[in-house]
Structure 1
Amino acid sequence: MKKFILPLGICLVGIITVAVLVVAKPKPVPQPPPGDPALVQVDVAPLQPQPTALAVTVSGTVTPKREITVIAQVSGEVTAVGSGFVDGGFFASGEELMRIDDADYQAALLQAQARVAEAQQAVAEEQGLGRQAQREWRDLGDKSANDLFMRKPQLAAAKARLASAQADLKVAQLNLERTHIQVPYAGRVKETLVDVGQYVSAGTALASVYDSAIVEVRLPLTEQQAALIDLPFATPHTEASKPAVTITGTVAGQTHQWAGHLVRTQAFVDADTRMYNAVVEVAEPFAQPVPLLPGLFVEARIDGRSLEGVSVLPRRALYKRDKLLTLDDDNAIVESSVSVLHKNAEQIWVRSDLAADTLVSLEKQSLTPIGVAVDPHPVNAVQPPPVTDSDVKVDVAANSVGE
């Protein structure tokens, strides 16, 4: 019995001891909160809206404004070519690029001139015969005369043959002129397709040429980029209001720049990419110290239009892509939505309905960890030096808008 009574007694004593400790435990006494809790210290920056122009930088390829394939309009042997009729050769407006044998067309012109002379003679004869018939009919004393006797149909037919002969003469003259191949503007030969001694037929391609007076760069713009510049959607700009564009490209291993203007947009938005296509023109590309060559891949910097109410802030102020953490009148953190115009690694450019000098928190990581709501308690704002105007001069690249 001692083996069972002693352990049982020890257990009962332990249970009684624990029960006494639980019942006799002192209860916590509520303490009043401290009068001045320690405030979280955060860096802030004020919103300073001001007029700002953001330049847009996009890439494109240089193309000629006018490029055509020269086609032979008459047949014959190529008897001569001009000095500029080589791949890459320059030519002036109206300069003869090549000549087709014109012996047949000279003969055709002489024959047409002869037919015109014959037709003119026939008209003159019919006019004389008509006047003679009129006198004869008048001498007969009859007031009504027959048109056939008065030779009116014969005169009309002679005049029609004269008009036909004159038309044939114009065609012969035109064909003779077409043996001298010309282009109505100064340009450059992209590719020659025939040479001296080769026989060509009407419709044969002779060369590919383009206008050297002006080149174009077509630039695809996103919705955000288009909002920053003055695009001529409906009507073209006047000469004074065309946005200036700086073209930058590499020629023979060295970087060069050319000045141009944004002159128009294409007639439609690209259905696949939903991009706007702006067209930049550069005048006299081959009169520059370094020519702007068609086919060159370049970057174009388009001057942006002036935007009101743009504020520049450090990049770390951005919260949830399009929000800021601002301080209200009680220095409590509040979420505020903004429109982000541009951002880079250091700064953001935003527009909003917030009042000027509104303080923006730069400490979102310490105040709002992922999954935790914004702290409504007041904070201690520490304002760093303001952002200067020099900090807002930036190019908006194609891959950085609206990220």
Structure 2
Amino acid sequence: MSKPRFVIPLLIIAILFVIAVLIIKNPPKQPSDDADRRLQMAVNTMEVAPGDYQVVVESYGRVEPVTRSFLAAQVSGQIIEVSAQFDNGRFFNQDDALLRIDDRDYRASVKVAEATLLDAKRVLIEEQARGKLAKDDWRRSGKSGAPDSLVLREPQLLAVQAGLLSAEASLDKAKLDLSRTVVRAPYSGYVLARSVDLGQVVSVNERLGEIYSSHALQVRLPLRNRDLAYINLGNGIAQSNKPSHDPDVRLRSSIGEFADWPAYLTRTEAAIDDASRQLHVVAEINQDLSDADQTGKAATNVEVNAKAKQALPRIGQYVTAHILGKKLEQVIVVPLQSIYQGSFVYLVEDGHLYRRDIKVAWQNQQEALIREGLQ
């Protein structure tokens, strides 16, 4: 009964003995002294040589109108007509009637002013006749010397002439007020907001809406300090609205369908922005839609609106700007990913890697311009 109890331990001891013998007879092989223990690695390399390089600076900004206005009533009264073009987002042409104010009181004022002017002319004719009679009476009197101005009724004549001028001015003012009952567009553009509606009574200087000109849009672009030396900022003199040179800037947006617009640097702001401590330049998009129909045929409002929306970005839209900078000669440019910790690169010579410290003069998101270290 006790025999099986000793079989299992003896079997385990025998197995361990066999394993120990095998390990002793087959020790692990040590690498030979002449084996190549150096770490082998595959690297991508590129040849670097001086060449010409066109600097393109990237920035971001928001589209704003160059000309933006608040329409205000110049006369008071009830609005009796509102144009379909005077609505949010609609396009209008210069001198389009956007809304009309009840003009009956102003027409009556014109007639009153015309009557006052006629009466002033009558008084002038009568006074001129009185002056002539006074001059004739002086001659018949036989008195020597020149007659006094009071005798010739010259002060009375001046008063009548002043009354005539006042009557003419009153008529001009009445006609001007009458013309102001029709609120016309000062330029071609778009409606940003409308503040009034049909039947509303407005007072003088009350805001009617907000509009902006389609002649040009602008984008205010911040520049990093390191970018300033690589952009032609100009001398602050305003440039032409329609430059003859190639665009300085390409504005791009991915809202909806991808689109881009040519733009021109028109000015540099005079002061550094207090919040960002950056200098801003202004790029202008010149795409006047007032002559959208070049065929000479009258385009419908729907057609004009379609062309306008296709041609211009929206107000407030954020865009990416690629600013054409200076063209540099005989400079070294390397991919940004080849620079480590922003201060060194690896060079390959005779199959060996060497670290080389460098100094970066300028960089964008893809490339870096090397100032020192690779010359």
TM bin (shorter chain): 0.7 to 0.9
Number of equivalences: 307
Distance between the aligned counterparts of 2:120 and 2:364, measured in 1?
Answer: 81
Task: Give the alignment of 1:321-340 within 5 angstroms.
Answer: 321=342, 338=359, 340=361
- Greater shift in the superposed pair: 239-248 or 68-77: 239-248
Distance between the aligned counterparts of 2:168 and 2:122, measured in 1?
Answer: 13
Distance between the aligned counterparts of 2:244 and 2:371, measured in 1?
Answer: 28
User: How big is each residue's C-alpha offset from its partner over 1:71-113, in whole Å with a ceiling of 9 and x where there is no partner?
Assistant: 0111100011112012212111000000000000001111111
User: How big is each residue's C-alpha offset from its partner over 1:288-344, in whole Å with a ceiling of 9 and x where there is no partner?
Assistant: 745411111111111112123421135587588567899xxxxxx998874521155
Structure 2: runs of 5+ lacking an equivalent: 1-43, 290-306, 348-353
Q: Is the 8 Å Cα contact of residues 358 and 370 (structure 2) preserved in structure 1?
A: no
Alignment-mate amino acid for residue 109 of structure 2: A
Task: Give the alignment of 1:16-95 within 5 angstroms.
Answer: 48-95=49-96
Structure 1: runs of 5+ lacking an equivalent: 1-42, 327-332, 359-403
Distance between the aligned counterparts of 2:205 and 2:179, measured in 1?
Answer: 16
Task: Give the alignment of 1:163-312 within 5 angstroms.
Answer: 163-237=165-239, 239-241=243-245, 243-251=247-255, 253-284=256-287, 287=308, 289=310, 291-312=312-333
Secondary structure in structure 1 of the residue aligned to 2:254: strand
Distance between the aligned counterparts of 2:328 and 2:80, measured in 1?
Answer: 63
Q: Is the 8 Å Cα contact of residues 55 and 230 (structure 2) preserved in structure 1?
A: yes
Task: Identify the residue that residue 140 of structure 1 maps to in structure 2.
Answer: 141
Q: Is the 8 Å Cα contact of residues 242 and 263 (structure 1) preserved in structure 2?
A: no
Secondary structure in structure 1 of the residue aligned to 2:272: coil
Distance between the aligned counterparts of 1:242 and 1:132, measured in 2?
Answer: 77
Distance between the aligned counterparts of 2:335 and 2:213, measured in 1?
Answer: 48
Q: TM-score, normalised by structure 1?
A: 0.69
Q: Is the 8 Å Cα contact of residues 324 and 338 (structure 1) preserved in structure 2?
A: no
Q: Provide closer, same or farther for how the CA distance between residues 250 and 344 of structure 1 changes in structure 2, counting only shifts above 3 A.
A: closer
Distance between the aligned counterparts of 1:232 and 1:314, measured in 2?
Answer: 30
Task: Give the alignment of 1:101-140 within 5 angstroms.
Answer: 101-140=102-141
Q: Is the 8 Å Cα contact of residues 358 and 371 (structure 2) preserved in structure 1?
A: no
Distance between the aligned counterparts of 1:243 and 1:88, measured in 2?
Answer: 28
Distance between the aligned counterparts of 1:248 and 1:316, measured in 2?
Answer: 25
Q: Is the 8 Å Cα contact of residues 242 and 262 (structure 1) preserved in structure 2?
A: no
Distance between the aligned counterparts of 1:83 and 1:49, measured in 2?
Answer: 62
Shift of 1:49: 3.5
Shift of 1:263: 1.4
Q: Is the 8 Å Cα contact of residues 322 and 340 (structure 1) preserved in structure 2?
A: no
Q: Provide closer, same or farther for how the CA distance between residues 315 and 154 of structure 1 changes in structure 2, counting only shifts above 3 A.
A: closer
Q: What is the Cα-based RMSD across aligned positions, in Å? A: 2.9
Secondary structure in structure 2 of the residue aligned to 1:121: helix
Shift of 1:178: 0.6
Q: TM-score, normalised by structure 2?
A: 0.73
Secondary structure in structure 2 of the residue aligned to 1:144: coil
2:363 to 336, 342, 365: 342
Q: Is the 8 Å Cα contact of residues 62 and 295 (structure 1) preserved in structure 2?
A: yes
Distance between the aligned counterparts of 1:343 and 1:77, measured in 2?
Answer: 59
